[in-house]
Structure 1
Amino acid sequence: MTPVPVVVVCDAETDDAIAILLAALDPGLDLLGVSTASRQEAAEVRALVASGGVDVAVHAGVDGLVAAVRDAAEPVTLVTTGPLTNLAAALAADPSLPRAVRRLVVLGGTHREPGVTPYADRNVWADPQAAADVLAAPFRDVLLVTADATASVALDGADLARLRALGTPAARAAAALAAARLDRGARVHDPLAVAAVREPGLLTTLRAAVRVECTDPTTYGATRFAAEVDERRGRMSVAVGADKARYVEVLVAALGPS
């Protein structure tokens, strides 16, 4: 199978680092670039990923993101694992950018699961207008991986022990990074968005139109879903669940010995 060309747009959280390790090491993926909003975040991401024995080029700002997408030999799968500010700015700078993207995978939004508020996950809440702009842009294929999906694959101590037992630097680093999130149920949200590129059957999805709440202070950052009965209408798939066993197997296969 030809590896899928991937560009990751992230911030500097621990689960972003696990997602990048997965994207860099899975043989089914070809990580072409990583982009952050700032140089400080870029340095932090490089350091986190280096703890897993992986060296990746991380570019800061809009220009680096546009170049990573435009320089690819074929349309890329663009995976966002942080707030959508950087991508929204890139779209404003280059409105034709969606034509160079085969698929957009956004880690963000929530249906029933609470996030940083009862209504909104962190990535959308951090910049709802950017999220609204990105989700309204003319990408040909959009997948929204919600907190409902990531909640369904929360890792536990046994999962982390299995990763550590693999013995590779990447697996040990991923386990350590995930362990720091055990007080939050070890919801390593971001790698699920990357794993879904590798194995789409991981997810339970529905077709929906999505609206982002940008004004109401009570529900600020909420994602509102209107289900599409007709699969031909709308462009967006929304992941509301995932297969945890298959998710763990994807992590083990990519992060373990080659």
Structure 2
Amino acid sequence: MIPVVLDCDTGTDDAVAILLAALHPDLDLLGVTAVWGNHDVRHTTDNALRVLDLVGGGGAGVHPGRNEPFRPRIEPLPSGRADLPPTLDLPAPVSAAGTDAVEWLVATLRAATDPVALVATGPLTNVAAALAADRRIVDAVGRLVVLGGAHRQAGVTPYAERNVWCDPEAAADVLAARWRDLLLVTMDATFSAPLDASDAARLRALGTPAAVAAAAFVESRIAWYDGPAPLHDPLAVAALVAPGLLTTLRATVRVERTDPGRYGATTFAAEPDERRGRVTVAVRADKAGYLSLLDEVLGS
């Protein structure tokens, strides 16, 4: 089994990512660290607890983390989104939140005897803070998977994907660090495999609590997008167990932090850049394979 830590700003797609990480037989979910982004960290912590309690995974633990950017943005950004409900439509949690996310993450990685997979599906604030606290954590992470960035696909702006846009300083620090294996799952990949109403019905028909909850989340996303909707975050978890789902390229990545018009944009270059290192960048995904994986794990 692959030991996994999931760092997320739990909304609907993060919730499915947690379900996939908690239930996949080849993954050992060590814990969830909650970060600001979709909502204030008190809500993302509460939502993550609700998801884990739904499937009896509360023992993994949820640790509340940072609630503001790692360093100030060009323009301040309040935590949370007015266009999304702050609380997931799941029973209130029974489990209690754990210790501070950054302290727990550093301690967990320091103590790890096997390489840990770290999957980040929200702003990279917690990861950047852990890296600043102890740069040696890169040696304990076997693979870092980041859900973030965009190439041709528009995000929250024509140029920037939301997770990177929320905290470009953190993203720049994390993407520049010397991780053993760094995969960036971009919006180009997630938007290439949107789910529709028939896909949601297929999940709902499986009948398990996890599959029914996932179906409801997909349906809410279809309503929000007014059509087939990308299910971003679980694709980052899927990359750990089914890397063949993704079409990838190797590139150097730069995060725009000074130009207000392109703030938070990720730009990619094929040429080696020794200052930044090389990143594996996912640009497409196999929708049929992705949906089959969700069916198999959430329906088990």
TM-score for both structures, normalised by structure 1: 0.93
- Matches of 2:278 and 2:158, distance apart in 1: 27
Cα contact 2:160–2:263 (8 A) shared by 1? yes
Aligned partner of 1:63 in structure 2 is 103
Aligned partner of 1:192 in structure 2 is 235
SS where residue 240 of structure 2 aligns?
helix
Alignment of 1:85-124 (within 5 A): 85-124=125-164
One of 30, 43, 49 as aligned partner of 1:46: 49
One of 171, 177, 193 as aligned partner of 1:131: 171
Aligned partner of 1:21 in structure 2 is 19
- Matches of 1:140 and 1:79, distance apart in 2: 14
Q: 1:49 to 1:178 in 2, by over 3 A?
A: farther
Aligned partner of 2:219 in structure 1 is 179
Cα contact 1:35–1:58 (8 A) shared by 2? yes
Aligned partner of 2:197 in structure 1 is 157
Question: CA shift at 1:48, angstroms?
Answer: 3.6
SS where residue 13 of structure 2 aligns?
helix
Q: Which amino acid aligns with 2:287?
A: K
Q: Which amino acid aligns with 2:49?
A: R
Cα contact 1:207–1:238 (8 A) shared by 2? yes
Question: CA shift at 1:72, angstroms?
Answer: 2.9
SS where residue 23 of structure 1 aligns?
helix
One of 103, 119, 131 as aligned partner of 1:79: 119
Question: CA shift at 1:234, angstroms?
Answer: 4.2
Aligned partner of 1:10 in structure 2 is 8
Compare 68-77 and 173-182 and name the one that shifted more. Answer: 68-77
CA RMSD between the two structures: 1.8
Q: Does 1:236 align with 2:279?
A: yes
- Matches of 1:51 and 1:120, distance apart in 2: 34
Aligned partner of 2:289 in structure 1 is 246
Cα contact 2:145–2:183 (8 A) shared by 1? yes
SS where residue 95 of structure 1 aligns?
coil
Question: CA shift at 1:73, angstroms?
Answer: 2.8
Compare 21-30 and 63-72 and name the one that shifted more. Answer: 63-72
- Matches of 2:290 and 2:122, distance apart in 1: 20
Question: CA shift at 1:213, angstroms?
Answer: 0.2
Aligned partner of 2:31 in structure 1 is 33
Question: CA shift at 1:67, angstroms?
Answer: 2.6
- Matches of 1:135 and 1:36, distance apart in 2: 20
Cα contact 1:14–1:48 (8 A) shared by 2? no
Question: CA shift at 1:13, angstroms?
Answer: 1.2
Cα contact 2:152–2:188 (8 A) shared by 1? yes
Question: CA shift at 1:50, angstroms?
Answer: 3.2
Structure 2 unaligned residues grouped into runs of 5+: 36-40, 66-101
Structure 1 unaligned residues grouped into runs of 5+: none
- Matches of 2:133 and 2:271, distance apart in 1: 31
| Residues paired across the two proteins, number | 253
Cα contact 1:7–1:69 (8 A) shared by 2? no
Kindly provide the CA deviation profile for residues 70-123 of structure 1, in whole angstroms up to 9, marking residues without a partner as x. Answer: 333311011000000111011111111101101110000000111100000110
- Matches of 1:28 and 1:78, distance apart in 2: 15
Cα contact 1:202–1:246 (8 A) shared by 2? yes
Question: CA shift at 1:41, angstroms?
Answer: 2.4
